[in-house]
């Protein structure tokens, strides 16, 4: 116990079933912070025994996913990264929401989106992007090695 309540471990993933891990990360929509997302994916995929080349691919893919999701957002906006790992696959979802003033423009940049799309096609098994009411959702899925 300390002044802030009971001590907790700094890393406690939610366990939602046997061999299932769910982790969430929220951060400003600032590309300088994408290395944090890459490091998270690196640790999770490596602990799940993905081959090192696949781990590298996933780290690149998560940066592209964050970029695709946060394109055209004000830097005061937030992205939420959700990672689900189970014995069959790793799935990453990125959601970007507008800043509190609602000043973000969610109009995609066609050239940038096509470029990012091409990268994701090469690095992951499945992916997608959709614009929702005031937010954008991008996701990717990579099947576990056999």
CATH code, domain with 127? 3.30.565.10
Q: Report if residue 3 sits inside a domain.
A: no
pTM equals: 0.75
Contact 83, 40 (CB under 8 A): yes
Closest CA to 116 of 52, 56, 64: 64
> In terms of pLDDT, which residue wins out, 129 or 3?
129
Q: Report if residue 9 sits inside a domain.
A: no
**Residues contacting 57, CB < 8 A, separation 6+:** 123, 124, 142
Q: Residue 28 is encoded by which pair of tokens?
A: 């400003």
Q: Report if residue 5 sits inside a domain.
A: no
Q: What is the mean pLDDT of residues 38-48?
A: 92
Number of domains observed in the structure of the chain: 1
pLDDT for position 5:
42
Range of the domain at 115: 23-143
Q: Report if residue 31 sits inside a domain.
A: yes
Q: Report if residue 16 sits inside a domain.
A: no
Q: Report if residue 18 sits inside a domain.
A: no
């Amino acid at each position: 116990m300390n002044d802030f309540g009971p001590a907790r471990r700094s890393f406690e993933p939610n366990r939602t079933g046997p061999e299932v891990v769910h982790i969430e990360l929220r951060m400003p929509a600032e590309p300088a912070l994408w290395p944090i997302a890459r490091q998270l994916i690196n640790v999770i995929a490596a602990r799940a025994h993905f081959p090192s080349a696949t781990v590298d691919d996933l780290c690149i893919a998560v940066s592209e996913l964050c970029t695709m999701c946060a394109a055209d957002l004000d830097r005061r906006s937030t992205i939420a990264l959700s990672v689900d790992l189970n014995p069959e696959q790793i799935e990453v979802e990125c959601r970007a929401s507008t800043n509190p003033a609602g000043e973000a423009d969610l109009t995609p940049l066609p050239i940038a989106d096509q470029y990012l799309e091409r990268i994701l096609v090469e690095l992951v098994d499945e992916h997608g992007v959709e614009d929702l009411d005031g937010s954008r959702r991008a996701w990717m899925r990579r099947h576990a090695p056999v």
